[in-house]
Structures are given as C-alpha cells and as structure tokens.
C-alpha cells in the first residue's frame, strides 16, 4: 500500500475529526465507519429551562420590537454603534452601552475572541455561564465543540473570529427575548461591518433568523448559503453582501449528536467555498 505522509496540521485536523465522530458514537476504522456495538441511543433532548414562546408570538413580538428594521430597533444602540469606526472603538462602545437590561445581571460584556484578521466570522446566540465569567464567547462546552468542528476542516483560533448576537448572558442561560435581540442587533451588525469577514457562519436559529431577517427555522436554513446584507452606520443596507452559512448551534449538537452528520456536511461546504470550489 502506498504510504502517505501527513503534515502536523493534517494530523491535528484528522484527530479533531475522529474525536468529533467518536462523540457522536461512531468509531473510525479506516476505511469503514462503524457504529459502536451496543451503544445506547442518544438521550432525548433536555427541554430548555425556559420554554420558547410559540412561533406566532415570537414573530409578533419581533415585529413589535422593530425586528427586521434596525432603524426602529435598539433605542440608542444604533447611535452608539455608529460612533465606532474600528473594532477596538466598538468594543469600548459596547462595554459602555447601557441600553440592554441583560447587562445589569451579567458579570462581563462578551465581545469577541479569535483573530480580527480572519476570513471567517462566526456569530452565535448569547454568552452562557463560562463566557460570562471569562468575558469571551464560546469558551464553555459548546465552544469546545465549535472549535473541534472547525479544527476538523483544518481551521484553528487564528482562522476564526467569533462573537454573538447579544453581548451579555441572559439570566439562567435562557434564550434572549426578541426585544433583547432587537436592541442588540445594531451592535452586532456594526461589528460585522467593521470586521468585514469574507464569510459569515451563523450558529443556531436565533443568529440565522436575526441576521438574515428570516422566520425560517434553522433545520431548513442550515447548509444553504445566503447573502448577508451589510449595513452602514445609519443601519441602511449598503448593497454589499457577505456569503453566509447557517449551521446548527453546537449546544444543539451536544443534545442531538445524530445531527453532527449534517453539521459535518456544512463544514465541508464551508471548506469547499474557502478553497474556491
Ligand atoms: N452559546 C452561544 O451562542 N454563544 C456563546 O458564546 C456560548 C454559548
């Protein structure tokens, strides 16, 4: 058999991929992928502590909060964000922003982590407990899975820039409400405009629906490239777009490991696009 030599980066990517599949209950026994014998089926998804409002109520609340129109949303956020012309200035503006009640119960403002020069920007939903403690996005269990997902296509922290729709932890890790999302939307939209990534990856339904102004669920949005519409400092669309890939949120994948199959195909779609395929 012909021997192939792997670079250290290939080896790291391969290990991350194998770990990721192993977590989903699969063993790689090249070239065949087998299910582990006798492995118990994945436990049913745990209900979230706070039930989501029904979709119709969500949509109505979203409209009431000006969702879909950042000029109405977020009293003060748009004006505050407009003052920032650099990522550093925006971090300061968000750190000083008092328009979102979540800030009052949070320990830290969670702005971003990763490389500000990376081609890919990932936007999640909201900080959890670990993120609130450390002041950095995606540093807890779901962040570790997120890192492994990207490592599996050879991308490390230096290749990624990561933030969230809201910058403060919702109490008890509940979902951010549509009002909180609407308030914070101009901040993340300014963040994306200043970062100007080549590719945007939106993790989970909250992020995908808010940034793409869509009411379609993540199960249908995931894996479908869309155009994210860039906005200027006044909140108006500039006419420029960024290719945007919605993916399952890693915390959903922790609860539903079987969905990692689709998540893997989304990672491959991203890798192909990055490599101009
Ligand atoms: N989930 C998110 O959406 N963002 C984080 O930063 C952590 C968990």
pLDDT, tens only, 31-43: 333 333 444 434 4
- CATH topology (fold) of 59-274: Uracil-DNA Glycosylase, subunit E (3.40.470)
Question: What is the structure's pLDDT at 37?
Answer: 40
| Three-state secondary structure call for residue 152 | coil
Structure tokens at 245: 């890939």
Element (H, E) at 227: strand 226-231
Q: How confident is the model at residue 12 (pLDDT cuts 50, 70, 90)?
A: low
**What residue ranges line ligand 1, CB within 6 angstroms?**
124-128, 131, 137-138, 140, 142-143, 164, 251
Residue 277 has a pLDDT of 79
Q: Where are the domains of the chain?
A: 8-49, 59-274
Tokens 């420029």 belong to: 240
User: In 106-255, where does DSSP find H-type helix?
Assistant: 129-134, 141-151, 178-195, 205-212, 218-221, 250-255
Is residue 19 pLDDT above 80, yes or no? no
What is the reported pTM?
0.79
Instruction: Assess whether pLDDT exceeds 60 at residue 25.
Output: no
Tell whether the model's pLDDT for residue 234 goes beyond 60: yes
Statement: residue 174 has pLDDT above 90: yes
Ligand 1 centroid from CA 66, angstroms: 24
- Expressed in angstroms and rounded, the spacing between residue 269 Cα and the centre of ligand 1 is 22
Instruction: Give distance in angstroms: CA of 138 to centre of ligand 1.
Output: 5
- Band (pLDDT 50/70/90 cuts) for residue 7 is low
Nearest atom in ligand 1 to 249's CA? 3
Three state DSSP letters for 39-89:
CCCCCCCCCCCCCCCCHHHHHHHHHHCCCCCCCCCCCCHHHHHHCCCCHHH
| Whole-Å CA distances, 261 to 43, 84, 87, 249 | 17, 40, 35, 13
State yes or no: pLDDT of 243 exceeds 80: yes
**pLDDT reading at 27 higher than 60:** no
**Exposure class string for 91-121: b at 16+ Cβ within 10 A, else e:** bebbeebebbebbeebebbbbbbbeeebebb
What's the mean pLDDT in 250-271?
Answer: 97
What is the position in ligand 1's atom list of the atom closest to the CA of 130? Answer: 7
User: Rounded to the nearest whole angstrom, what is the distance from the C-alpha of residue 148 to the centroid of ligand 1?
Assistant: 15
How high does pLDDT run on average in the chain?
83
Cβ–Cβ < 8 Å for 266, 222: yes
pLDDT category at 105 given cuts 50, 70, 90 is very high
């Amino acid at each position: 058999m012909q021997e192939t030599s792997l670079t250290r980066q290939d080896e790291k990517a391969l290990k991350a991929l194998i770990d990721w599949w192993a977590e989903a209950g699969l063993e790689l026994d090249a070239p065949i992928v087998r299910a582990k014998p006798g492995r118990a089926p994945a436990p049913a998804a745990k209900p979230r502590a706070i039930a989501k409002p029904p979709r119709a109520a969500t949509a109505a609340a979203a409209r009431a909060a000006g969702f879909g129109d950042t000029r109405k949303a977020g009293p003060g956020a748009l004006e505050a964000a407009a003052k920032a012309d650099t990522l550093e200035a925006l971090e300061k503006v968000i750190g000083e922003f008092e328009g979102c009640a979540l800030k009052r119960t949070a320990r830290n403002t969670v702005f971003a982590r990763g490389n500000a020069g990376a081609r890919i920007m990932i936007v999640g939903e909201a900080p959890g407990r670990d993120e609130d403690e450390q002041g950095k996005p995606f540093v807890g269990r779901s962040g570790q899975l997120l890192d492994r997902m990207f490592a599996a296509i050879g991308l490390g922290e230096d290749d990624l820039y990561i933030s969230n729709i809201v910058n403060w932890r919702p109490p008890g890790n509940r979902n951010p409400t549509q009002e909180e999302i609407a308030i914070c939307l101009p901040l993340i939209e300014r963040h994306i405009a200043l970062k100007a990534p080549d590719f945007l990856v939106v993790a989970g339904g909250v992020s995908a629906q808010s940034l793409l102004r869509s009411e379609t669920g993540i199960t249908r949005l995931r894996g479908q490239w869309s155009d994210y519409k860039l906005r200027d400092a006044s909140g108006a669309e500039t006419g420029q777009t960024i290719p945007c890939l919605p993916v399952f949120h890693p915390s959903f994948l922790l609860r539903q490991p079987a969905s990692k199959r689709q998540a893997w195909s989304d990672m491959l779609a991203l890798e192909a696009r990055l490599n101009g395929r």
